[in-house]
């Protein structure tokens, strides 16, 4: 199995959604089960929000850490949001193309988040249902922004300020074109 695509929807922001994304990030159910040394059935049960309470499987912190070490950042992202913060991803490549891609992603995601909030508040009210509908877009915009921040941190740490300036000029030129 190359990815984890559960058939039941997982509510955005839920523990089950974060675990489902983490499973996908490491290559799917079989790979994730190998990483934490559990059966695929056990792991699928842990990621299923509709399992009866008495049959629920619980992922340990040690298992969550093992998934994180294998490249699943979704659990760290979820914990960061639960603590009122945001997850700063690992420092990526600071090549101009990577910076332009990160900026483009942030522009797209923040625009979609802003549009969603404006649409949901157009009736003069922004209630719980509106907020829940907008949260996925808002979280995607935050993730994209933190990707841009990670690039800035990497540039500072690598003393690559000239590369970042060149990328900024190239990005600005491409927007004007």
DSSP result, 54-94: GG-----HHHHHHHHHTT--HHHHHHHHHTT----PPP---
Q: Is residue 87 part of a domain?
A: no
pTM (2 d.p.): 0.60
Q: Give pLDDT, residue 150.
A: 83
Same domain, 143 and 168: yes
* Domain end call among 82, 113, 133: 82
Domain termination site, one of 53, 82, 111: 82
Question: Which contacts (CB < 8 Å, 24+ apart) does range 58-66 have?
Answer: 59/19, 63/36, 63/38, 64/22, 66/35, 66/36
Q: Is residue 112 part of a domain?
A: yes
pLDDT on residue 91 = 65
Do 142 and 112 reside in the same domain of the chain? Answer: yes
Three-class SS state of 158: coil
Same domain, 22 and 71: yes
Q: For the purposes of burial, counting CB atoms within 10 Å of the CB of 172, is it exposed (0-12), middle (13-18) or buried (19 or more)? A: exposed
Task: Tell me which residue range forms the domain holding 78.
Answer: 15-82
What is the number of domains present in the chain?
A: 2
Identify the top-confidence range among 8-12, 52-56, 145-149, 165-169.
145-149
């Amino acid at each position: 199995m190359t990815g984890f695509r559960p058939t039941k929807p997982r509510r955005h922001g839920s523990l089950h959604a974060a675990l489902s994304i983490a499973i996908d990030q490491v290559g799917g159910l079989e790979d994730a089960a190998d990483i934490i040394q559990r059966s695929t059935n056990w792991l699928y049960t842990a990621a299923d929000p509709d399992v009866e309470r008495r049959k629920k499987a619980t992922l340990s912190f040690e298992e969550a850490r093992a998934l994180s070490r294998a490249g699943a950042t979704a659990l760290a992202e979820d914990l960061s949001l639960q603590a009122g913060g945001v997850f700063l991803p690992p420092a990526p490549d600071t090549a101009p193309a990577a910076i332009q891609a990160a900026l483009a992603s942030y522009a797209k995601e923040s625009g979609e988040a802003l549009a969603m909030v404006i649409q949901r508040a157009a009736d003069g009210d922004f209630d719980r249902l509106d907020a829940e509908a907008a949260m996925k877009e808002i979280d995607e915009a935050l993730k994209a922004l933190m990707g841009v921040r990670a690039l800035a941190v990497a540039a500072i740490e690598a003393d690559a300020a000239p590369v970042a300036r060149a990328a900024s000029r190239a990005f600005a030129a491409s927007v004007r074109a």
